Amino acid sequence: MRACIPLVLAVLCGLAWADLYSAPTSCQGRCYEAFDKHHQCHCNARCQEFGNCCKDFESLCSDHEGFSHSSDAITKEEIQSISEKIYRADTNKAQKEDIILNSQNCISPSETRDQRDRCPKPLFTYVNEKLFSKPTYAAFINLLNNYQRATGHGEHFSAQELAEQDAFLREIMKTAVMKELYSFLHHQNRYGSKQEFIDDLKNMWFGLYSRGNEEGDSSGFEHVFSGEVKKGKVTGFHNWIRFYLEEKEGLVDYYSHIYDGPWDSYPDVLAMQFTWDGYYKEVGSAFIGSSPEFEFALYSLCFIARPGKVCPLSLGGYPLAVRTYTWDKSTYGNGKKYIATAYIVSSA
């Protein structure tokens, strides 16, 4: 697939940066200011999601906690190297013939708030559902109906639902993707045993915390992969399998996209606009055609190596960045933080 527009450049489809702006400005003294459409580049909390940050946003505005700034730091080069290994190890990914995508209209980032449906046809023309019979796909899909999407309603897992979480972790840990990730993190002295790693994954992804008024109404897994609705808007929902299944049921309506990645095979990346049962998602980035373990591995890698920061990856020779956020209002274990969210923010 060809790139529609790089996420790191807030440009109109088919136009170059120079056509829109002169020299970029700085985030000096502007970190997390309110959005102003008249500014040449931005320093607000969502600029990375929309790909219109000033060049020095990361250096001036990001926090400096976590492993990436400690004496045992995981370097950018190491993250990019292991992400390439994970990319090559994803043998469960979709092949070209498994998915026919109809991305249709590309819009500019400035149009994402319009909430206009510019694509009359579904995003997915065809998906080979034999993929979903693979053990990790089947275990992943079993988890998707275990949540109430509205924040403010406490989650209460049955014994079977808790067993489904364990089954998912058990299946993905059998894959080459997760073996690569564990080997890397073990070598980096992050985990002393595979069981310690699995236990931490379960806590950081499935541990419950409170986004709304109700105790235990959210988790990293629910937010990122299943999706939530908060204050009338879709939050999270960064998974292509979930999107396809909901679109097939008529619950998702694909509106447009602002980015179509450069990969000519799967996994690819799409940043899109859509409604979910009437609720709007302004920008939702997602891998397309990846296995569940691939996404789970990359987001986990980034959360562990760059918690609350931009994480530089390399996939098939192309740069990509993922942004994670920590949930700071509650912790597990020895003061560890849950995953609040993780999503693709840029192609460089």
How many separate domains does the chain show? Answer: 2
Q: Which among 42, 93, 223, 230 is annotated as catalytic?
A: 223
Q: Are residues 176 and 37 in the same domain?
A: no
Domain holding 23: CATH number?
4.10.410.20
| Residue 238 annotated as catalytic | yes
**Residue 93 designated active-site:** no
- Is residue 39 part of the annotated active site? The answer reads no
**In what order do the strands lie in the sheet containing 268-276?**
228-230, 233-235, 279-288, 268-276, 252-260
Q: Within a domain: residue 234?
A: yes
- On whether residue 5 sits in a domain, the answer given is no
120 and 191 in a single domain? The answer is yes
* In a shared domain, residues 52 and 147: no
Residue 247: phi and psi, rounded to 5, are -65, -40
Catalytic residue among 42, 230, 238, 309: 238
For residue 266, tell me if it sits in a domain: yes
CB-CB contact of 131 with 137 (8 Å): yes
Say yes or no: 295 and 254 in one domain: yes
Report how far residue 294's alpha carbon sits from residue 83's, in angstroms, rounded to the nearest whole number.
10
Tell whether 169 and 257 lie within a shared domain.
yes
φ/ψ of residue 28, rounded to 5: -55, 120
pLDDT digits (tens, 9 = 90+) for 52-92: 888 888 777 754 333 433 445 899 999 999 999 999 999 99
Please check whether residues 50 and 129 belong to one and the same domain. no
Ranges in the chain, pLDDT < 50: 1-3, 8-23, 63-71
Examine residue 4 and state whether it is found in any structural domain, yes or no. no
- State the pLDDT at residue 19: 29
Among residues 42, 257, 281, 309, the one annotated as catalytic is: 281
55 and 80 both lie in a single domain: no
pLDDT value for 211: 81
The answer to whether 336 and 200 have CB atoms below 8 angstroms apart is yes
Q: Which residues form the domain of 339? A: 76-345
Q: Are residues 30 and 93 in the same domain?
A: no
Residue 40 lies in a domain: yes
Q: Kindly state whether residue 148 falls inside one of the protein's structural domains.
A: yes
Q: Note the pLDDT of residue 290.
A: 98
